[in-house]
Each structure stands twice: as C-alpha cells, then as structure tokens.
Amino acid sequence: MDREKAYFYFSIFVGGALIVCLFLIMTVSSKLTYMEGRMQELISMQHDMRSIVSDQNSTVQNALTEFYEQQSWLGRMEMDVKPIDSQNIEAIFEWQVKELQSDSEVIFNYTIGENEDYTAIPAEEFQQGLYQVVIPFELDMKPYWSVAVLDGDNMGEVEIDEYNPKEDFRYYVSVQNSDGSIKNGDIEIAYLEEYGPQQYGNIDTNIDLVDGEVHVVLYHHMGKDMDNLVEEAYLLKYENNNLVDEVQFKLQDEDEGYRFYVLNNMEPYEDMRLVARVVYSDGQTFENEIYK
C-alpha cells in the first residue's frame, strides 16, 4: 500500500515537473523568437545606417572630387572696385585659368538680383593664363550716417541710414572648348552696395540740446588702412526751408582712421532745421539732415 502511494506521489511530481519544464521551454522559445526578431531589426538598422553612411561618403567624395578638379584648372577669383564718380564704379575681376586648350574661350557670366538669366561676356587675357573683365555699375556711394538727438536727459530717436544690400551680384567663370565641352566654376556672390561705406566710412552725429543751447558733435570713422577722410565739415542752419547761416565745424581731435568735429554753444531758434555737410579728401561732398 505504501509503495502504491509512493508511486502515485512520484507520478504526480514527475507530471508537475514535466508541465513546469514544458512551460519553461515555451517561455524560453518565445523569448528566443523575440530576441531573434530584435536581432533581425538591429541587423536591418545597421544595414540601413551603413547604406546611408556609404551614400553620404559618396556625396562628399563627389563634392571633393569636383572641388579638386576645379582647383586644378581655375585659380582664385580676385575682385576690386574702382570709383569713377559718386554715382559710378567699375568692378574689376581677375583670375587664372590653369588648364586651357589653345582654341578654348574663357567666359565671365554674371547676373544681378533675382534675374536668373546670366549675361556672358568674353574675358580678356592680359597675361598668359591670367584673365580679366571690367564691368561698369551705377551705384549711389555714400557714407553710412547715424544721428542721435539728446534733449536734456532724454535721448531722442536715433536715425540710421538704411543699409540693406538688396541686390546680389552673382558670377562664375566658364571655359568653352572647340569640341563642345564646357567647364563651369562655382557661382560666387558679391554685394556692391557694401562699397559705399567701405569708401567713405561711418559718420556719427550727436545733437545735444541742454540749458538752452545746441551742441553738435560729428565723428568720422574709417579703417586704419584708408586715408579718404572728412577734410571739412559744415553745419547748414535752416529756418524751415530758408538757409539762414552756414558754420564750419571745429576739428577737435584726429588720429589714424578717425576725425572728431564739434560745434558748441549755439542758440536754438523757431522752426530750426540743421543739415551737416562733409567734404572728403577725394573732393566728394555729402549732406544729411540731422535735426528738424
């Protein structure tokens, strides 16, 4: 009897163990299936990443190849601007073509603003392998002028010349060979409106109204390597639109790259309007209203 009970309990134990083992096997199998799926996902992601990196490397390599090819046949573009008068300039472009067939033609292509149609003009070879084009432009060159008014302890509005280059000048060089092949350089961009302040610098004018008197300071700043300074400065005093007086500023201080002019202790008057006039070393004259 005891042996039968023992066999019975042993059978129950073995059956339970088998059930537990079967559950564990199913659990492990499920986890293995999940892990296998995750591994497949990771392998797929790794493959995608390798493909993306390979494409990027190919793009970078192609860009570098293009760059090195251009550097091998086209030198750096140099640009200079020559003033003709206060309304006109000449832009001079020079560059080197390092690889050129005997029957090739070198072309300078340019456009202005939003115009997408490029104008093509033949370049002039002024030395062997060195080319040049000269393009005239109409450009209102002037100094960059700011005005501040201080009325007692209250700072008035500061008026600053609008200087937002709106039209870009885009250009590139191409070489046309007799076999019909064409090489194009990269498109470069210049803003010719920047030349005005570069040529005539910045003028800051401060008007101080204090204790019943008018004090005016005119400060002209240029770069250290530029010598086109304000030689004379005048204050034109208007009553409405009638010129009533013209007074020369006194040169208070100067150093390399700047000059500092003042006019002190002037009496204000009704309907006062003040205009500053400056005369530069190159003979150009500019006026700007500084108070009304």
pLDDT digits (tens, 9 = 90+) for 221-242: 886 667 788 999 999 999 988 9
Cβ–Cβ under 8 Å, residues 274 and 249: no
155-179 average pLDDT score: 70
**pTM across the whole model:** 0.54
**Fold identical between 78-141+167-192 and 201-291?**
yes
Cβ–Cβ under 8 Å, residues 200 and 284: yes
Domain ranges, ordered by start, for the chain: 1-73, 78-141+167-192, 201-291
87-116 average pLDDT score: 87
Residue 112 in this model has a pLDDT that exceeds 60: yes
Query: What is the token pair recorded at 244?
Result: 């009533």
Superfamily of domain 201-291: Immunoglobulins (2.60.40.10)
- For the segment(s) 78-141+167-192, the CATH number from 2.60.40.10, 3.30.950.10, 3.40.50.1370, 3.30.70.260 is 2.60.40.10
Q: What is the pLDDT of residue 53?
A: 44
Residue 197 in this model has a pLDDT that exceeds 90: no
Four-residue CA torsion sign, 111, 112, 117, 119: negative
Q: What is the pLDDT of residue 67?
A: 52
More confident residue, 213 or 14: 213
**């009553």: which residue's tokens?**
239
More confident residue, 74 or 100: 74
Could you give the 3-state DSSP secondary structure of residue 163? coil
Query: What is the token pair recorded at 229?
Result: 């300074």
Q: What is the pLDDT of residues 11-58, one digit of tens each?
A: 666 666 677 666 667 765 665 454 445 445 544 554 455 455 445 545
Q: What is the pLDDT of residue 274?
A: 94
